[in-house]
């Protein structure tokens, strides 16, 4: 096992476990809030379908990573060291009950509301019993033409053991009777659906009764599965899907080449230990028992569903059907006035820092910043961190172009970015081919900081320009996630960024940074100091205030510090999108703390930390949440907004609207459950809608 990071402080539990909420149960609370978007009739219909799919995608990762880890703990008999004090078996029992409830509600909503509403709008998913003669004939031809040639039924007998089933793949368990051509009396077979087959099939014109008539692959196979077992009687055909442990394990301290080790480990992700079995609700009891036995699972791991076993397969439908009237209205991201007509970004940045607020403002200036650097003859070097960029990244192609243009290009690629490992390995190889310097950060610490540094020769001297952000360099998510970007040539900030790059690419002692808080060295202690500073102000009778926005709040010492601040009279507002282990509003513990979560059209991803700090407000943007991993096991940056006008913008755009939101906000109760904020007779306020109205240019 890897050693404990030397920067992690010793934890002394001063508060009762009752004052901390469980991480896994809070993750499911978050998914209930996402599911509520699918329930909300004021949300456009196709967006409701999309939210339903997002819940399924979230649950997939939850089982692949969190539940699999829980099961490992149970298998090893480990006692809980978590602040909430719950044992792994107790957590698993509660998680299983809560997850089953979420899934049951998903399918109840799908069948009872969303599919009927889509049908009224001419978007139909036609079941087998509804096919007319013409449709049946076309579907039969489709089966023989497109499906049967690529299907491989596997009869289960001593010569054909149960096949290896890929993680999250679509499969069918078939119950049979009779003897085959060789006289074998097999009672069951498995049919695996190849990835090349679409899971949802649009019926062509002439067969369809409307423009958007669909059938499921599962329905086609159910109808014609007998063609795969000539002369035998099919008693039942049931779809199933198994979810496996997908957390890669590489002992980083013991491998000589992390990239090669990961390349060897990635294929095994598909065949980790099973953690969940999803089956059609019509599956026979005998087949359910058989499959559970094959995968080493218990009844609590079984999820029976009335519909497709993978709702994620419906994620593409909103973009396929061409019904903009059933979707969120399109918009064009705005551009700051300083950049609107500028041809030279470096000249603009020299005049003053530039702040971008995604997705309300365009991510294009960040891409343009790197593109100009790649082509500018005065630029001598570009350094960048890469966590997630996607498989077709303009930015990565630009860095390759920069290296070909003779620039000194250094890229810190995080190979252990979960589910992006393969894409990052491929980009690393392409960068090395053109002579870029590629490093993989620091063993045992993921490089999660978002930073670019450009070195440019100006009037005989070298000048540094930097980009720092709260989100990834990923153009697609830039339109879906809320984030801030800072472009600056501040010598102090750029000097700090340079020091961090020196740490990542070279060797040497930690150096003191002037403005930037860095994990794993100073971020945790600086956050605690800032909280303690507010406590001192409150005790002195001065104004004291903390407003923090993040994705997750779990680190025990920070939670304890916030409780202490509340008891001292500091007013604290926490805007936490996802999991939060802190209990707000507990008498004598957290009476001055409010926790809210905003779930809307965009994924709230911005990390903003505001401390009243007497007469000089401290406003920090960060790549890090307040979690153990971000403080102690990652390279993270938390950087100040020094310009007063930009600081006011962060407050007025990133915090104030979210504290006023009474449309998409949820308030946390002391028991960890959430209640949707009801506006009553008060005017409606939606942070995301208001920012869209103020900052974008319409569709």
Structural tokens at position 440: 């993989």
**Which has the closest alpha carbon to 589: 28, 21, 11, 9?**
21
pLDDT band, residue 11 (cuts 50/70/90)? low
In the chain, % helix, strand, coil (3-state, to 5) comes to 40, 20, 35
In the annotation, is 448 catalytic?
yes
Q: Could you identify the residue written with the tokens 């930015």?
A: 395
Q: Which of 402-416, 456-470, 584-598 has the lowest mean pLDDT?
A: 402-416
Beta carbons of 196 and 217 less than 8 angstroms apart: no
**Which has the closest alpha carbon to 64: 265, 274, 251?**
274
Query: Which pLDDT score, from 0 to 100, does residue 539 have?
Result: 97
Structural tokens at position 351: 């005049």
Q: What is the C-alpha to C-alpha distance for residues 128 and 146, in angstroms, rounded to an integer?
A: 18
Three-state DSSP at 680 gives coil
Q: What is the C-alpha to C-alpha distance for residues 561 and 611, in angstroms, rounded to an integer?
A: 14
Beta carbons of 372 and 346 less than 8 angstroms apart: yes
**CA distances for 243 relative to 228, 287, 695, angstroms:** 26, 18, 42
Per-residue H/E/C for 336-399: CHHHHCCCCHHHHHHHCCEEEEECCECCHHHHHHHHHHHHCCCEEEEEEEECCCCCCCHHHHHH
Structural tokens at position 694: 């103020």
* Ramachandran category for residue 503: left, alpha or beta (phi over 0 → left; psi -120 to 50 → alpha): alpha
Residues 330-368: pLDDT tens digits?
999 999 988 988 889 999 999 999 999 999 999 999 999
Count Cβ atoms below 10 Å from residue 481 Cβ, excluding itself. 19
pLDDT band, residue 266 (cuts 50/70/90)? very low
CATH 3.30.870.10 domain span(s) along the chain: 337-512, 518-695
Count Cβ atoms below 10 Å from residue 20 Cβ, excluding itself. 22
**CA distances for 630 relative to 8, 502, 608, angstroms:** 11, 20, 15
For residue 425, what is the enclosing H or E element? Answer: helix 421-433
Q: What is the C-alpha to C-alpha distance for residues 413 and 288, in angstroms, rounded to an integer?
A: 44
Residues 274-303 have a mean pLDDT of: 96
Query: Which pLDDT score, from 0 to 100, does residue 66 have?
Result: 93
Q: What is the C-alpha to C-alpha distance for residues 608 and 622, in angstroms, rounded to an integer?
A: 7
Which fold, 518-695?
Answer: Endonuclease; Chain A (3.30.870)
Query: Which pLDDT score, from 0 to 100, does residue 249 have?
Result: 52
Query: Which pLDDT score, from 0 to 100, does residue 180 have?
Result: 61
Q: What is the C-alpha to C-alpha distance for residues 403 and 431, in angstroms, rounded to an integer?
A: 8
Query: Which pLDDT score, from 0 to 100, does residue 255 have?
Result: 44
Structural tokens at position 175: 């119950």
Query: Which pLDDT score, from 0 to 100, does residue 415 have?
Result: 72
Q: Which of 243-252, 576-585, 636-645 has the lowest mean pLDDT?
A: 243-252
Q: What is the C-alpha to C-alpha distance for residues 635 and 448, in angstroms, rounded to an integer?
A: 6
Structural tokens at position 222: 């159910």
Q: Could you identify the residue written with the tokens 């953690």?
A: 275
Partnered with residue 413 across adjacent β-strands are: 386
Q: Which sign, positive or negative, has the C-alpha torsion 277, 278, 279, 285?
A: positive
Longest dimension (CA), the chain: 90
Residues in the chain, how many? 699
**Which has the closest alpha carbon to 679: 691, 664, 663?**
663
More confident residue, 434 or 416: 434
Tally the C-alpha atoms within 13 A of residue 433's C-alpha that lie toward its C-beta.
9
Residues 30-48: pLDDT tens digits?
999 999 999 999 999 999 9
The model's pTM is 0.92
Q: In what order do the strands lie in the sheet with 153-155?
A: 153-155, 188-192, 171-177, 233-244, 274-280, 302-305
Q: Which of 142-156, 411-425, 577-591 has the lowest mean pLDDT?
A: 411-425
Q: What is the C-alpha to C-alpha distance for residues 577 and 666, in angstroms, rounded to an integer?
A: 9
Three-state DSSP at 82 gives coil
CATH 3.30.1840.10 domain span(s) along the chain: 128-326
DSSP string across 567-612: HHT-EEEEEESS-B-BPTT-TTTSTTEEEEEE-SSSEE---EEEE-
Query: Which pLDDT score, from 0 to 100, does residue 179 have?
Result: 66
Partnered with residue 580 across adjacent β-strands are: 553
| DSSP 8-state code for residue 329 | P
Indicate whether 313 pLDDT > 80: yes
Classify residue 484 by burial, with Cβ atoms within 10 Å: 0-12, 13-18, 19+: buried
Indicate whether 524 pLDDT > 50: yes
Query: Which pLDDT score, from 0 to 100, does residue 10 have?
Result: 59
Structural tokens at position 161: 């053991």
Beta carbons of 599 and 626 less than 8 angstroms apart: no
| DSSP 8-state code for residue 163 | P
Residues 157-188: pLDDT tens digits?
755 688 889 899 999 999 998 766 555 556 88
Structural tokens at position 606: 């911005």
Residues 584-595 have a mean pLDDT of: 97
Q: What is the C-alpha to C-alpha distance for residues 561 and 64, in angstroms, rounded to an integer?
A: 33
Residues 369-395 have a mean pLDDT of: 92
Residues 675-699 have a mean pLDDT of: 86
Number of H helices, E strands in the chain: 22, 27
Q: Tell me what percent of the residues of the chain surpass a pLDDT of 70.
A: 91
Indicate whether 295 pLDDT > 60: yes
Residues 126-169: pLDDT tens digits?
999 999 999 999 999 999 999 999 999 988 875 568 888 989 99
Q: What is the C-alpha to C-alpha distance for residues 660 and 641, in angstroms, rounded to an integer?
A: 23
CATH 1.20.58.310 domain span(s) along the chain: 23-107
Query: Which pLDDT score, from 0 to 100, does residue 45 have?
Result: 98
Which fold, 128-326?
Answer: polyphosphate kinase like (3.30.1840)
**CA distances for 108 relative to 35, 55, 59, 115, angstroms:** 12, 14, 17, 10
Which fold, 337-512?
Answer: Endonuclease; Chain A (3.30.870)
19, 222, 445, 448: the catalytic one is: 448
Residues 186-204 have a mean pLDDT of: 91
Beta carbons of 292 and 277 less than 8 angstroms apart: yes
pLDDT band, residue 625 (cuts 50/70/90)? very high
Residues 75-95: pLDDT tens digits?
888 776 688 889 999 999 999
Beta carbons of 115 and 57 less than 8 angstroms apart: no
Beta carbons of 657 and 691 less than 8 angstroms apart: yes
Q: What is the C-alpha to C-alpha distance for residues 401 and 406, in angstroms, rounded to an integer?
A: 9
Residues 281-303 have a mean pLDDT of: 96
What phi and psi, each to the nearest 5 degrees, are found at residue 693? -65, -35
Residues 538-564: pLDDT tens digits?
999 999 999 999 999 999 999 999 999
Task: Assign domain 23-107 to a CATH class.
Answer: mainly alpha
Q: Where are the beta strands (DSSP E) in 122-187?
A: 123-125, 153-155, 171-177
Structural tokens at position 22: 């469980």
Beta carbons of 428 and 402 less than 8 angstroms apart: no
Q: What is the C-alpha to C-alpha distance for residues 18 and 23, in angstroms, rounded to an integer?
A: 13
């Amino acid at each position: 096992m890897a050693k404990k990071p030397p920067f992690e402080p010793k934890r002394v539990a001063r508060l009762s476990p009752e004052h901390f909420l469980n991480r896994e149960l809070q993750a499911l609370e978050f998914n209930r809030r996402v599911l509520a978007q699918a329930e909300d009739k004021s949300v456009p219909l196709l967006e409701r379908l999309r939210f339903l799919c997002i819940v399924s995608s979230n649950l997939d990762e939850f089982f692949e990573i969190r539940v699999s880890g829980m099961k490992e703990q149970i298998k090893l008999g480990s006692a809980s060291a978590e602040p909430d004090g719950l044992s792994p078996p107790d957590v698993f029992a509660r998680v299983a009950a809560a997850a089953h409830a979420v899934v049951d509600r998903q399918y109840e909503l799908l069948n009872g509301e969303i599919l009927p509403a889509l049908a009224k709008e001419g978007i139909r998913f036609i079941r087998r019993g509804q096919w007319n003669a013409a449709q049946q004939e076309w579907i039969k031809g489709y089966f023989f033409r497109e499906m049967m040639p690529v299907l491989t039924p596997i009869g289960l007998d001593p010569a054909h053991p149960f096949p290896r089933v890929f993680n999250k793949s679509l499969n069918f368990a078939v119950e049979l009777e009779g003897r085959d051509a060789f006289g074998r009396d097999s009672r069951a077979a498995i049919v695996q659906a190849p990835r090349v087959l679409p899971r949802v099939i649009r019926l062509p014109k002439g067969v369809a009764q409307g423009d958007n008539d669909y059938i499921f692959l599962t329905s086609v196979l159910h109808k014609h599965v007998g063609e795969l077992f000539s002369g035998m009687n099919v008693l039942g055909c049931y779809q199933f899907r198994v979810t496996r442990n997908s957390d890669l394990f590489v002992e980083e301290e013991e491998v000589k080449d992390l990239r090669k080790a990961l390349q060897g480990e990635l294929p095994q992700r598909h065949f980790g230990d099973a953690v969940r079995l999803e089956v059609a609700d019509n599956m026979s009891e005998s087949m359910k028992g058989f499959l559970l036995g094959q995968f080493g699972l218990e009844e609590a791991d079984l999820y029976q569903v009335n519909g497709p076993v993978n709702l994620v397969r419906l994620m593409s439908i909103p973009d396929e059907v061409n019904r903009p009237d059933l979707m969120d209205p399109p918009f064009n991201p705005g551009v700051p006035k300083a950049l609107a007509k500028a041809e030279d970004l470096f000249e603009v940045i020299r005049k003053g820092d530039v702040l971008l607020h995604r997705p309300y403002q365009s991510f294009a200036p960040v891409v343009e910043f790197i593109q100009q650097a790649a082509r500018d003859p005065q630029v001598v070097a570009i350094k960048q961190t890469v966590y997630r960029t996607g498989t077709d990244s303009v930015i990565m192609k630009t860095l390759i172009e920069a290296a070909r243009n003779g620039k000194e290009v250094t890229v810190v690629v995080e190979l252990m970015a979960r589910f992006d490992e393969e894409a990052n390995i491929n980009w690393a190889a392409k960068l090395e081919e053109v002579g870029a310097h590629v490093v993989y950060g620091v063993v045992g610490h993921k490089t999660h900081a978002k930073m670019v540094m450009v070195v440019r020769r100006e009037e005989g001297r070298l000048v540094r320009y930097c980009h720092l952000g709260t989100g990834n360099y990923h153009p697609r998510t830039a339109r879906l996630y809320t984030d801030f970007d800072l472009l600056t040539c501040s010598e102090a900030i750029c000097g700090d960024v340079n020091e961090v790059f020196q740490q990542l690419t070279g060797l040497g002692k930690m150096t003191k940074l002037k403005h930037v808080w860095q994990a794993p060295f100073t971020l945790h202690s600086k956050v605690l100091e800032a909280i303690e500073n507010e406590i001192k102000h409150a005790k002195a009778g001065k104004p004291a205030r903390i407003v923090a926005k993040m994705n997750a709040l779990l680190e025990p010492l920070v939670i304890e510090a916030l409780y202490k601040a509340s008891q001292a009279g500091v007013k604290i507002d926490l805007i936490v999108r996802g999991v939060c282990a802190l209990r707000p509003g507990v008498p004598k513990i957290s009476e001055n703390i409010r926790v809210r979560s905003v779930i809307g059209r965009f994924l709230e991803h911005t990390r903003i930390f505001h401390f009243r700090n007497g007469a000089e407000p401290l406003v920090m943007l960060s790549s890090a949440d307040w979690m153990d991993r971000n403080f102690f096991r990652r390279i993270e940056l938390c950087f100040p907004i020094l310009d007063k006008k930009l600081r006011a913008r962060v407050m007025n755009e990133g915090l104030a609207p979210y504290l006023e939101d009474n449309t998409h906000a949820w308030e946390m109760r002391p028991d960890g459950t959430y209640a949707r904020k009801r506006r009553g007779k008060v005017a409606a306020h939606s942070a995301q809608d208001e920012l869209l109205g103020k900052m974008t240019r319409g569709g």
